[in-house]
Structure 1
C-alpha cells in the first residue's frame, strides 16, 4: 500500500476551510438515529481539526436519492445525533454547493463545524462530474477523506476533490488503512482467513485472491456446502450452489498450487427446518441425511478452526460459520470468535474483521471489542480483501 498523507502532515490550519468527507449513512427510524457508530468513528477527526481552529465543513451522503432532493434522505435528520456525539452544536446548510453552501461557509468562525446537505442530491456526485467537483472545491482550502467505507466509489466527494485540493487521510481512514496493511498488505505469517456467508457467487474474487495470500483458508457458512458438493459429498437440502462446482474445484486447485490449506467442515449441525430451537443433531459431514440441511459447523470442525487460529499470527475474518442469527446455530461462530478474541487479547494474534454480517456476529459473540480492528466498511472492505484498488485510497497516495 503506497504511503499517504495524514492529518499529522497538516500544519497551521487555523482559519483554513477543511472539507472533510465522512460517512454519516446511519440507520434512522421515526426520525431518530438508531445506531451512531459511524458518527462516533469520525468524531476524532472532526474534533481534532476543530480544536486546531479550522473551519470544518462536512460532506456526506445519506441513502440513495439518485441525484435529486428527497425529504427523508436529508442530512438535517441527523444533526441532533451529530451534536450529541461531538458534544457541541454544528451548523447546517440546505445544499452542498451554490449560494446556500457558500453563505454558510462565509459565516463560519474558526473551530466551527458545518454539515452540508446530502452530496447525492446532485447527479454530479456519483458521476464524479468536473463542474460539480469544482463547485464543492470552491468552499475549501484542504480536503480530508475520512470515509473509507465509500473509498471504493470514484465519486466527486470521495475521489474528485483530491485532484483540486491538497488531500489527506482522516483518523478513521488512517486507522483502517493501517489495520488492513497488517491484515493482508504486510502481515505476520502464518495468516489464516475465515470466510463464511451464504453464497460462493458473491465471494469468488475474494476466495481467488485469498488463496494466493494466506496460509490457511477456513470456509464456513452456506458456501462450505458448495465446496463439499463439488467434492462429491451429498449435502442434502442444505443451501448449495451446485452450478458453481467447477468454480469451487478451480479455487481448491489454485490453493494447492499456492500452498494454502483449505479448511472445510468435518462435521455439521443438521436440522429439518430453518427456525430457532429446531430439533438438531451433529453428524459427520459425509453422513448428512438427504432430507436435512446443515445450519452450522460441528464441534470437531470448530476444534480444527481454533487449532489454526492458535497457530496464526494474523487472522482476517469475513462472514459467519453458520446461521448465527438463529439459536442454536450460532455456536460455532461464537466459539471461534471468542477464541480469536482471547488470542488477540493475549497478544498472540492480530485480528482484522469486516463486513455487515461479520460485525453483527462478533458483537453477538461479545468478541468484537477484543479484535485488533473491526471494519464497518462493508463493500470497501470486501473489495480491499479482493485485492482491488480503491479509488478513494489511491488518490491519497503521496
Structure 2
C-alpha cells in the first residue's frame, strides 16, 4: 500500500505529533532496557534535522483509562535525553490547555513528551473527541509505533485522519521488511513457525501455506502435526484435539503447492529440566513414557538444506524448548545457519515475535538477520494477513 514517509512532508517549523512505542521496562524509576527508545531515535533526529518540533505520544502499561502515578512517562526523560541527544520537556497530560501551551512553547531542538495516552479511557476506544484534542497539539502526524499498529486507538488510528500523516523511520523499516518477506518476496520463500500450540497460530499457519513455498513447523506444535499422521508422541506437549485442524492445514498446503517440513528425528527426555538425560530417536519412535523437547540433528540438516535453496526466510517461534540446554540445540544451529546465509547476502531473513527474538539472541544470530521485528502482536497479525488499522490509516 502507498504511505508517506518523513521525506514526503514539509516539517520546517511544524509541530510533529509523533506516536512512538516507549513501553520499556522500568525498575526503581530507572529504564532497564532502552531498546525501544533507541529504535525511535532516527525518527526524532530526522524531524529535528528538518526543522520540525517532535511532540511524542505514547502509552505505558495498562492504566485502563485512569491516571496511575506508577505508569507516568516522566521517569523516562533521562533515558530519552540520553538516546535522542536532545532536551526533553514534559507535559502532565496528552490533551488540554497545559499540553497545548507546552506544544506552542516548544523551541527548535527540543522534544516534548506528553503524558501516557492510556490515562484517557477514550484512547483504547478510538474516541474521535480524544483524537481531535490530540490533533490540536500538532501540524503533522507521524506514526512510528508499528508495534501498536494492530490496535485501532485514538493515537494510532483516528488521529491519522485529522492531520497530514506519514510513517516514521521505524514504521517505514518494519513495513519495508515485511513487504519484502510476504508482500513481494524473492522466491523460494521458507517460513519457520514454532511454539507450543497450533491453536494460537491457526490463522498464521492458514495464511502462510498460501504465501510461502516451504513451511517448517517446530516446537510443541510439530507434535500435533506428527500425531495427526498417526505417530505416537508419548507424553509430549500435544493438542490431540487439534489433529483434525492440523490435517486440514496440511491438505490446504498440498493443494497450494506448499511443502510442510516436520521433524524427521527428535530429542526425547523423561523429565523437563536443565541437562536432563536425553536421546535422539526417529520421530516415529518416541517412547511412550518420554516427551519430545527438540528437533534432532537430521531434522536440522534438512532445515539448513532448505535454507540453502531459499531466497527469503520468515521466522516466528523456536524449534524446541530453547530456554534450557540441551533442548536449544536445533534452534541455535538452524538460526546460526540462517544468520550465515543472511550475512553473505544469500538470504533475506525477517523474524519477529517475543520468543523468537529471545531465541535468536540466545543463538547469537539476531544481528545477522536482515530484519528483526520487536512488534509482537502487530508482526503476527501482519503475517496472518490481517489489515493493521494504524497502517491502513496512513494510506
Return the TM-score normalized by structure 2.
0.99
- Report the counterpart of residue 299 of structure 1 in structure 2: 297
- Report the counterpart of residue 195 of structure 1 in structure 2: 193
Distance across 1 between alignment mates of 2:344 and 2:106: 48
Distance across 1 between alignment mates of 2:250 and 2:184: 24
- Report the counterpart of residue 49 of structure 1 in structure 2: 47
Unaligned runs of 5+ in 2: none
CA-atom RMSD in angstroms: 0.8
Runs of 4+ off more than 4 Å: none
- Report the counterpart of residue 118 of structure 2 in structure 1: 120
- Deviation, structure 1 residue 54: 1.2
- Deviation, structure 1 residue 104: 1.2
- Deviation, structure 1 residue 259: 0.4
Distance across 2 between alignment mates of 1:121 and 1:315: 40
- Report the counterpart of residue 166 of structure 2 in structure 1: 168
Distance across 2 between alignment mates of 1:298 and 1:279: 15
- Report the counterpart of residue 180 of structure 1 in structure 2: 178
2:33 to 14, 32, 35: 35
SS of 2:190 mapped into structure 1: strand
Deviation string 1:237-275 (CA, Å, 9 cap, x unpaired) is: 110000101110000000000000000001111111111
SS of 2:252 mapped into structure 1: helix
- Deviation, structure 1 residue 72: 1.1
- Report the counterpart of residue 135 of structure 2 in structure 1: 137
Distance across 1 between alignment mates of 2:323 and 2:82: 31
- Matching of residue 261 in structure 1 with residue 259 in structure 2: yes
SS of 1:282 mapped into structure 2: strand
- Matching of residue 108 in structure 1 with residue 134 in structure 2: no
- Deviation, structure 1 residue 207: 0.2
Further displaced range: 103-112 or 164-173: 103-112
- Deviation, structure 1 residue 158: 0.5
Deviation string 1:207-263 (CA, Å, 9 cap, x unpaired) is: 000001111000000000010011111111110000101110000000000000000
SS of 1:317 mapped into structure 2: strand
- Report the counterpart of residue 333 of structure 1 in structure 2: 331
Distance across 2 between alignment mates of 1:200 and 1:114: 44
Distance across 1 between alignment mates of 2:277 and 2:27: 36
Distance across 1 between alignment mates of 2:326 and 2:29: 35
Aligned residues: 395
- Deviation, structure 1 residue 88: 2.4
- Deviation, structure 1 residue 28: 1.4
- Report the counterpart of residue 6 of structure 1 in structure 2: 5
Deviation string 1:339-372 (CA, Å, 9 cap, x unpaired) is: 0010011111000000000001111111111100
Unaligned runs of 5+ in 1: none
- Report the counterpart of residue 388 of structure 1 in structure 2: 386
8 Å Cα contact 2:160/2:394 also seen in 1: yes
Distance across 1 between alignment mates of 2:239 and 2:256: 25
- Deviation, structure 1 residue 24: 0.4
- Report the counterpart of residue 281 of structure 2 in structure 1: 283
SS of 1:25 mapped into structure 2: coil
- Deviation, structure 1 residue 51: 2.0
8 Å Cα contact 1:57/1:114 also seen in 2: yes
1:219 to 217, 220, 237: 217
- Deviation, structure 1 residue 35: 1.1
Further displaced range: 52-61 or 114-123: 52-61
Distance across 2 between alignment mates of 1:326 and 1:71: 38
8 Å Cα contact 2:86/2:110 also seen in 1: no
- Report the counterpart of residue 250 of structure 1 in structure 2: 248
Further displaced range: 190-199 or 43-52: 43-52
Further displaced range: 81-90 or 295-304: 81-90
- Report the counterpart of residue 238 of structure 1 in structure 2: 236
Distance across 2 between alignment mates of 1:3 and 1:309: 31
Deviation string 1:32-69 (CA, Å, 9 cap, x unpaired) is: 21111111111000011012221110000001110011
